[in-house]
Amino acid sequence: MNKLFRLLLVMTVLIGSVYYLYTETEAFDEFSTEEIPQNFEEEGAKILETLDPLTEAETYENLYSRLKQELEMISYYLPFGDKANPMTQADYNGEIQTVDREEELVAKINQKREEESLEEFEQLDELTVAARTKSSDMVDNDYVSLESEEYGGTKELMDRFGIPYHSVAGSISAGEEGVDEVFEELMSKDFSDYVVNENYTHVGVGYEEGGEYGHYWTVYFIEHQPEENIQSFEKEVFHLVNERREEHGLEPLKYDFELANVAREKSRDMRDSEYFAHESPNYGPPHEMINQFDIPNSGSAENIAAGQRTPEEVMEGWMNSDGHRANILHEDLTHIGVGYTQGGPYRTYWTQMFVRR
């Protein structure tokens, strides 16, 4: 009996989180504890310590993926609000079928890319959640359009979910239940170009049942550089700078990681405050910002850029500009830090900060 209680307790804690994230119903401060044992938190903590930790990026679909095998043939109650709301086996099966349909469509899309000798699309949790949100919004508000009164257009929805991208495309459909039919419809539209576009890297699929047409699908494609590429892009810019200096007989610059943190903050500041200028509304001009972060120097310079996709592209732009080129090839400068970030109106932001020591 004790083992059964412990199992149900874990499932209640974990699946409660899943249900809350997915349905966005009651807030946790309305959680009823009338029928929960006194040692609920203590027992739950002990059991949860034996499970693999969940990362911040893991959301509804990750949790279901991890719990799918353990929860076959189980029904349970979730104590939200003043009384328990039952989530039956049918409810659970419906959620699993939703995920399965989405994954099946992703698999068909990637099969097509494989046939075209292209890399498979990766899946981004936030992009999948955005697609599901869009499909749910169409069901709840009885419309079929890429424009939403609540979320705006595709770009606005990406920004609202904090999804960094260079390019984005969205496709919606309503009425088709089968994955094969949805895929055929997708390939018959202009969006077939996005399915087999080598520049697009990620796909997100969202399915929702209900509403006037019964079945609603949203597919988003984005061109997105994963987090691990950010630092590699920064390092590549550094190497390209020293290659150009070597071509002109100059000493290579040394990389300063603290200065790189300032450069990265400048790129993020431009993105978050939606400006593109050397003078920041939050930190002032470059030399003041560098001094605020206690970077030792006897002189400084800055290059910024926005919208370029690769280190080669941004370096080409800087080298074709007299002022930026002069900073890169300045013989008195000794150290450099590079900061790159994604998102915002220009999608990419680049900063080079130079100091003399």
pLDDT tens by residue, 24-81 = 222 333 333 333 344 444 544 444 444 445 444 444 445 444 444 443 333 333 333 3
Distances (CA, A) of 174 to 15, 55, 110, 208, 242: 29, 34, 22, 10, 54
What is the distance between the alpha carbons of residues 213 and 159, in angstroms, rounded to a whole number? 28
pLDDT in the model for residue 269:
93
Per-residue pLDDT of the chain (357 residues; tens, 9 = 90+): 444 444 444 344 433 333 333 222 223 333 333 333 444 445 444 444 444 454 444 444 454 444 444 433 333 333 333 333 444 444 544 555 678 889 999 999 999 999 999 999 988 888 999 999 999 999 999 999 999 998 999 988 988 888 878 788 899 999 988 999 999 988 886 678 889 888 888 999 999 999 999 999 999 998 876 665 788 899 999 999 999 999 999 999 999 999 999 999 999 999 889 999 999 999 999 999 999 999 999 999 999 999 898 999 999 999 999 999 999 999 999 999 999 998 888 888 999 999 999
pLDDT in the model for residue 90:
46
Q: Quick one: tokens of 147?
A: 């424009």
If you ran DSSP here, which 8-state letter would residue 152 be given? B
What is the distance between the alpha carbons of residues 229 and 311, in angstroms, rounded to a whole number? 11
Angle between helices 179-188 and 89-115 (to 10 degrees): 40
Distance from CA of residue 63 to its chain's centroid? 17
H/E element, 78: strand 76-78
What pairing do the DSSP bridges indicate for beta strands 335-343 and 254-255?
A: parallel
Amino acid identity of 308?
Q
pLDDT in the model for residue 111:
94
Residue 42 buriedness (CB in 10 A; 0-12 / 13-18 / 19+):
exposed
For residue 107, the SS3 value is: helix
- Which residues are within 8 A (CB) of 39 and not within 5 positions of it... i.e. 6 or more apart? none
Contact of 205 with 218, CB cutoff 8 Å = yes
pLDDT in the model for residue 297:
95
pLDDT in the model for residue 141:
94
- Which residues are within 8 A (CB) of 336 and not within 5 positions of it... i.e. 6 or more apart? 238, 241, 253, 254, 255, 256, 259, 352, 353, 354
Can you give the pTM of this predicted structure?
0.55
What is the distance between the alpha carbons of residues 299 and 290, in angstroms, rounded to a whole number? 10
For residue 336, the SS3 value is: strand
Contact of 21 with 14, CB cutoff 8 Å = no
pLDDT in the model for residue 177:
87
What is the distance between the alpha carbons of residues 144 and 237, in angstroms, rounded to a whole number? 44
Q: End-to-end alpha-carbon separation of the chain, Å?
A: 71
H/E element, 218: strand 214-223
Q: Quick one: tokens of 339?
A: 């900061």
Contact of 225 with 233, CB cutoff 8 Å = yes
Contact of 17 with 66, CB cutoff 8 Å = no
